[in-house]
Structure 1
Amino acid sequence: MESPITSWPKNEQPREKLRLHGARCLSDAELLAIFLRVGVKGKNAVTLAQDLIHYFGSLPRLLASTAEEFIQIHGVGLSKWTQIQAAYELVKRSLEDGLAQKSIFSSPEHVKEFLQSKIGRLPHEVFLCLYLDSSLHLIECQELFRGSITHTTVYPREILKEALARNASALIVAHNHPSGNPLPSNADQELTRTLIHALQWVDISLLDHYIVSNSGFFSFSESGLMNVD
């Protein structure tokens, strides 16, 4: 039987440790344990959190889990899943709000962090459009197309229509590769060329096309693939 967290030295208990030293000093399991609050018979909340992370393979995969997957673990239920999902959604909304407050290029890493949290670990392909105003502030991030684990059908005409409806001056598009390989396919490259040409007709710039996976990013702009004749 493990000792309950309340019997630990005060400065080693996750909540007190966070209060004294800040959230960055806590391990993934300790942070998760704060949301779990209690463990199960024979396991305190930290050990239960460690078991959850081990079961899913990583913290990001746990956060992307469905309710059905999550409640397969003994000792956790729908209530705990909804609490964790609510906290995760707050993080994503905070990142998105940050992009709306300043130029998209003032923090490229912020953009990548946002996209990673949004689509990086989804089990199916999703195509996002980030509509930008003339100051390159985010107007809206829209999930425009959704597909299978290997393929998403994208219609450039719909992208133009949605960009014009928002009076966007520029656009960033992004999609994920659930396979884990962020390198672009020939179809990805052809789509990018098509979008650049199509958007030029309505005086909207395509600034970048990101491919996101659980293991990294690919930027068409950083790779010099946005320059087409």
Structure 2
Amino acid sequence: MRIQEWPSAERPREKLLAGGAGALSDAELLALILGSGVRGHDAVGTARRLLAEHGPLASLLEQPPARLLRMRGIGTARACALKAALELAARSQMADLERGGAVTDPPSAGRYLAQRLRGRPHEVFAAMFLNSRHAVIGFEELFQGTVDGAEVHPRVLVRRAMHHNAAAVIVGHNHPSGHAEPSASDRAVTQRLKQALALIDVRLIDHFVIGDGKPVSMAIRGWV
């Protein structure tokens, strides 16, 4: 049965118009972007299969375009639509943070840093400076390096934190290779930065490593 033949209250578009986007499941939202299904499956069925094989939703959406194109049911147009939808959401969130919005959870900070740093041809180390309410009061790219790394100086981060009168800091850097797994050097630098910031009573909240997929939070790993 085609989606057009479903009861109106069950169709994704009608559900969205009646109850808002929050009323839809991940599969239904994804189906709206896909627009149609593959042979033998409607858009919702195709979306459910994609989530079952490549999900959860965040993992699917964060795949690079080349990988999306290899998934059955996602061609060039749909891959572009998915990446465009994710980019719109990221830019909306970035605009909110840059207007002084609060960082309320680790994923929001990770997405912000990914928006800024992902895809760079060389390693870039950046910092988000927060006030006591964890609102963003500054963002700076502090160090740049090669495809293999960037030298990080704790004294520079401390000086910039004092300049912004920050109460807390979130740092991040990208791995141009696309592999976001933190290295032993990344972990060591994190501890040096944490100790240096503690001397001026500034808290290091997290250190994110940005690659092709989901940003890796060192705080979640217990390394901050």
What is the TM-score of this pair, normalised by structure 1?
A: 0.66
**Could you tell me which residue of structure 1 aligns to residue 85 of structure 2?**
87
> Where do 5+ consecutive residues of structure 2 fail to align?
none
Find the partner of 2:99 among 90, 101, 118. 101
**Could you tell me which residue of structure 2 aligns to residue 194 of structure 1?**
192
1:75 aligns with 2:69: no
- Matched letter for residue 136 of structure 2: H
- Matched letter for residue 171 of structure 2: V
Q: Is the 8 A contact 2:197 2:204 kept in 1?
A: no
How far apart are the structure 1 equivalents of 2:172 and 2:9?
43
**Could you tell me which residue of structure 2 aligns to residue 210 of structure 1?**
206
SS at match of 1:173: strand
How far apart are the structure 2 equivalents of 1:146 and 1:88?
28
Task: Measure how far apart 1:82 and its partner are.
Answer: 1.4
**Could you tell me which residue of structure 2 aligns to residue 139 of structure 1?**
138
Higher relative contact order (CA 8 A, sep 6+): 2
Task: Measure how far apart 1:117 and its partner are.
Answer: 3.1
- Matched letter for residue 138 of structure 2: I
- Matched letter for residue 137 of structure 1: V
Task: Measure how far apart 1:37 and its partner are.
Answer: 0.8
Moved more, 50-59 or 170-179: 170-179
Q: CA RMSD in A?
A: 4.3
Task: Measure how far apart 1:178 and its partner are.
Answer: 4.4
- Matched letter for residue 189 of structure 2: L
How far apart are the structure 2 equivalents of 1:215 and 1:134?
24
What is the TM-score of this pair, normalised by structure 2?
A: 0.67
SS at match of 2:67: helix
Q: What is the 5 A alignment of 1:1-229?
A: 3-102=1-100, 104=102, 108=103, 110-118=104-112, 128-131=126-129, 137-140=136-139, 142=141, 153-157=149-153, 160=156, 168-170=164-166, 171-174=169-172, 178=180, 187=185, 190-195=188-193, 206-211=202-207, 219=219
How far apart are the structure 2 equivalents of 1:49 and 1:199?
46
Deviation track 1:146-187 (CA, whole Å, cap 9, x = no partner) reads 999xxx7442249938x85xx6443421469945xxxx9875
Deviation track 1:3-37 (CA, whole Å, cap 9, x = no partner) reads 11111111100011111122222111100000011
Moved more, 21-30 or 95-104: 95-104
- Aligned pairs, number: 203
- Matched letter for residue 208 of structure 1: L
How far apart are the structure 1 equivalents of 2:155 and 2:26?
39
How far apart are the structure 2 equivalents of 1:67 and 1:189?
30
Moved more, 26-35 or 130-139: 130-139
Task: Measure how far apart 1:65 and its partner are.
Answer: 0.8
SS at match of 1:93: helix
